Copies of this chain bind each other. A is one copy, B any other.
Amino acid sequence: MKPLFIIKIGGNIVDDEMALEYFLKSFAEVKLPKILVHGGGKLATRVAEAMGVQQQMIEGRRITDAETLKIVTMVYAGYINKNIVGKLQSQNNNAIGITGADANAILAHKRLAKIDYGYVGDVDSVNTDFFLQLLEKDMVPVVAPITHNGEGQLLNTNADTMAQSIATALGKLYDVTLIYSFEKSGVLLNVQDESSCIAVLTPDYYQSLKEKQLIFAGMIPKLDNAFAAIDAGVAKVIIGNAAVLPDLMEGKAGTTIQYG
């Protein structure tokens, strides 16, 4: 199978103009086919504050009410997405920005949980044909973390999960490497120490680290997504620093998630 890189950049990179610029330069040099999935960043919070939209939190988690959905749609699908597309275009990458609603790319349903998270989507399906169409035309999909339910409702969706879902769907047709890139060097044994990066994380090792509470809580959803991808047939998942993308791609940096 042909290799395909699916690279997700986290919100802290999106927030930092210099870091984003640097990342996009190295991303632009990655060979086709490739897909970029971006997170949200703090701009949505700043816009909400400026507009006087109160951010509701329940048990430490943000609730996406109607006004917040409006703001994240503006910021993620509008500002962040189109700026990345414009910058990649200027570097001869034929980028095309999409949400899950565009061409019905990613269908989701409103999360059903004890806590009502509001307009938050859990992914149901990925339109593999559409992604294939773009990739076969040498386009570079740039995916914003917004999906839809097929009934006219947009939904705020976790970007890590979107990257995992796309990787899983395309893993049947490509030899997919899924890279979660962010501001840290990888999965750290000591969250204060960038040099404590774990080179290889297996399910058993992950389980034992979780039991010893040695995994930083914020990493758990990302790692659960990473293992879900591997479980579903994605060839490789790497977590590491967006500033060293070429090294991550070659497995020379970051944490590689693998079996055995």
Contact = CB atoms under 8 A, between A and B. Distances in A.
Interface of A: 47, 50-52, 70, 73-79, 81-83, 85-87, 89-90, 94-99, 101-104, 133, 137, 139, 146, 148, 150-154
Contact of A103 (B52, B75, B82, B94): B94
Contacts of A78: 73-79, 81
Contacts of A96: 98, 102-103
B89 A150 contact: yes
A78 B81 CA distance: 9
A42 to B, nearest CB: 14
Contacts of A79: 70, 73-74, 78
Interface centre among A78, A83, A98 (most CB of B within 10 A): A78
17 contacts: A47-B74, A51-B51, A73-B82, A74-B75, A74-B79, A75-B78, A77-B78, A85-B99, A85-B148, A86-B152, A89-B101, A89-B104, A95-B103, A96-B98, A96-B102, A97-B98, A97-B102
B83 A73 contact: yes
